[in-house]
């Protein structure tokens, strides 16, 4: 089973990775991993964590955090005073995007699928929050942002997105991070085709994979560490202890049992 | 009826627009127009035409040309060796986009709806041309560009576009200029929702109105004039003489009787 982990080197013939050093790698679900010299090229450095917990290197200080940081800032180009929409906002990435948008002086509208998640989003400082399962989406978006959205960070796709695009402002920016509503489809869903809206509103829409910014991760990690220490970025982790409990932690990803990043520790 | 025209000033109280000067304005379908001082602010300068026909200021040297020039170059960011797809390629804008792409060292694939139009596209230097009414679109795109497209200049929309996106390369750029297949719909058409493709291929998709670059038109006009003089850009105009024939010229826009820019002269 694939998975990213933080590991301690307990035996080594490589001067780059001496015994006792800590590495971040996509080693999969393993207690011990033997890595050849060639594979060792793919072992990543750990960010500068100072006194932050190591687990953050898999979440807010890792791929999750960099996805929010670069995917939002680079593609949405938020400016102070902009109005930002985030769906799947209680997810590990969405919750960070909303907080980053607040740091940048934006008004942030988020939605999630349970009232508890919505309550947490308010605690994080989201300006407007709604449970999308309990509202008429178009009315809720209109109420939350009567003048429309400058930025939209999309985790959901299809019908949600087709509706949200109608509430974008001229020259709005859309960053496509995920399409949760589509992943399980065997074929692409049919929905209102959005190009006429993208044309009429002169929107810029872009999809991304965070690895395109891998050469710049150290830059993002540094800023994220600073924000965490300043209390501007809050995070949740659901920590499961013991490798043998890994399957339960995994199932938790799908039944909503986890909040924030799911972490398994030895 | 709205319409852009080139007019000669025959009486004037404005030092900016002396008698005998020529202006470009959205005066509508009129033989004579009385313009107040305030309205005169909206009267545009004529580009530097040297010995090119004045009618070009309404086409290749006007809004049509600038739409192709800025809408393609700014949003698609073509690089030498890129493969470019243009639909509605025999239209006034599409035919220019294809030629500009050739000037920039790209391989250009265009499609149109009649064999005559396709023949003209080959004369213009398009590398691959097909009549989209006579082919399976996906197969034709695959045959024309087995490795996919870096750039796509879209005039059509909906099902055509949904299919074309499947043939984009990673990091492809899509410039949305028009959505001809949608304009007459009362509601947005439903088609395969494209965000999953945009995500997976990390595409950048942007809609535009050429007026956003109005402050830079002089720059585009200068380059376009140079290309026309060098024979690198060819154009067609369908010229109708006499204002009373204007309705026929207008109907010609819809029944395919015109090729290139439709011009009515006094």
pLDDT digits (tens, 9 = 90+) for A152-196: 999 999 999 999 999 999 999 999 999 988 888 888 899 999 999
Q: How far apart are CA A24 and CA B213, in angstroms?
A: 47
Q: How far apart are CA A68 and CA A203, in angstroms?
A: 20
Q: What is the pLDDT of residues A46-104, one digit of tens each?
A: 888 888 999 999 999 999 999 999 999 999 999 999 999 999 999 899 999 999 999 99
Question: Which one of A177, A193, A212 would you mutate to disrupt binding with B, by most B Cβ within 10 Å of its Cβ?
Answer: A193
Interface of B with A in 161-220 (CB under 8 A): 161-162, 176-179, 182, 187-209, 212
> Residue B257 — very low, low, confident or very high, per pLDDT cuts 50/70/90?
low
Asked if residues B106 and B82 have their Cβ atoms less than 8 Å apart, the reply is yes
Q: How far apart are CA A179 and CA B237, in angstroms?
A: 46
Report the pLDDT averaged over residues B241-259.
80
Q: Does residue B260 have a pLDDT over 80?
A: no
> Residue B256 — very low, low, confident or very high, per pLDDT cuts 50/70/90?
low
> In Å, how far is A231's CA from the nearest CA of chain B?
32
Q: What is the pLDDT of residues B100-119, one digit of tens each?
A: 999 999 999 999 999 999 99
Question: Which one of A207, A208, A210, A212 would you mutate to disrupt binding with B, by most B Cβ within 10 Å of its Cβ?
Answer: A207
| Structure-token match 């607040």, residue found | A102
- Contact between chains at A190 and B188 (C-beta distance less than 8 A): no
Question: Which one of A71, A195, A205, A208 would you mutate to disrupt binding with B, by most B Cβ within 10 Å of its Cβ?
Answer: A195
- Contact between chains at B193 and A161 (C-beta distance less than 8 A): yes
Distances (CA, A) of A56 to A60, A66, A199, A201, A220: 5, 12, 40, 39, 13
Q: How far apart are CA A11 and CA A211, in angstroms?
A: 29
In chain B, residues with a C-beta closer than 8 Å to the C-beta of A202 are 206-209, 212
| Structure-token match 């804008």, residue found | B93
Q: ipTM of this predicted complex?
A: 0.93
Cβ neighbors of B39 (< 8 A, separation 6 or more) are: none
**Which residue is closest to A181 within chain B, CA to CA?**
B196
pTM of the model: 0.93
> In Å, how far is B32's CA from the nearest CA of chain A?
33
Q: Does residue B30 have a pLDDT over 90?
A: no
Q: What is the pLDDT of residues B66-95, one digit of tens each?
A: 999 999 999 999 999 999 999 999 989 999
3-state DSSP assignment of residue A203? coil
> Residue A198 — very low, low, confident or very high, per pLDDT cuts 50/70/90?
very high
Asked if residues B106 and B73 have their Cβ atoms less than 8 Å apart, the reply is no
Q: What is the pLDDT of residues B196-208, one digit of tens each?
A: 999 999 999 999 9
Question: Would an 8 Å CB–CB cutoff place A158 in contact with chain B?
Answer: yes
Computed over every residue of chain B, the mean pLDDT equals 92
Q: Which residues of B217-253 are buried (b: 16+ CB within 10 A; e: fewer)?
A: beebbeebbebbeeeebbbebbebeeeeeeeebbeee
Q: Does residue A258 have a pLDDT over 70?
A: no
List, in order of start, the domains of chain A with CATH numbers.
1-46 (no CATH), 53-265 (3.40.50.720)
**Which residue is closest to B204 within chain A, CA to CA?**
A206
């Amino acid at each position: 089973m694939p998975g990213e982990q933080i590991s301690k080197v307990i035996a080594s013939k490589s001067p780059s990775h001496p015994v006792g050093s800590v590495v971040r790698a996509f080693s999969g679900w393993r207690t011990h991993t033997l890595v050849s010299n060639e594979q060792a090229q793919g072992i990543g450095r750990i960010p500068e964590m100072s006194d932050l917990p190591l687990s953050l290197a898999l979440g807010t200080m890792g791929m999750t955090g960099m996805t929010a940081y670069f995917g939002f800032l680079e593609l949405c180009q938020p400016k102070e005073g902009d109005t930002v929409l985030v769906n799947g906002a209680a997810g590990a990435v969405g919750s960070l995007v909303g907080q980053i948008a607040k740091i940048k002086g934006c008004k942030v509208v988020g939605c999630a699928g349970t009232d508890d998640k919505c309550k947490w989003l308010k605690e994080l400082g989201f300006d407007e929050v709604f449970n999308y399962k309990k509202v008429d989406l178009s009315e809720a978006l209109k109420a939350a942002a009567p003048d429309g959205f400058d930025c939209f960070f999309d985790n959901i796709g299809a019908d949600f997105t087709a509706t949200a695009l109608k509430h974008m402002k001229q020259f709005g920016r859309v960053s496509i991070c995920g399409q949760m509503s589509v992943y399980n489809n065997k074929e692409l869903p049919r929905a209102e085709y959005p190009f006429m809206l993208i044309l009429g509103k002169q929107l810029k829409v872009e999809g991304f994979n965070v690895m395109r910014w891998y050469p710049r991760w150290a830059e993002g990690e540094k800023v994220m560490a600073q924000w965490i220490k300043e209390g501007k970025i809050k995070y949740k982790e659901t920590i499961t202890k013991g490798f043998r409990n890994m399957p339960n932690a995994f199932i938790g990803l799908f039944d909503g049992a986890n909040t924030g990043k799911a972490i398994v520790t030895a």
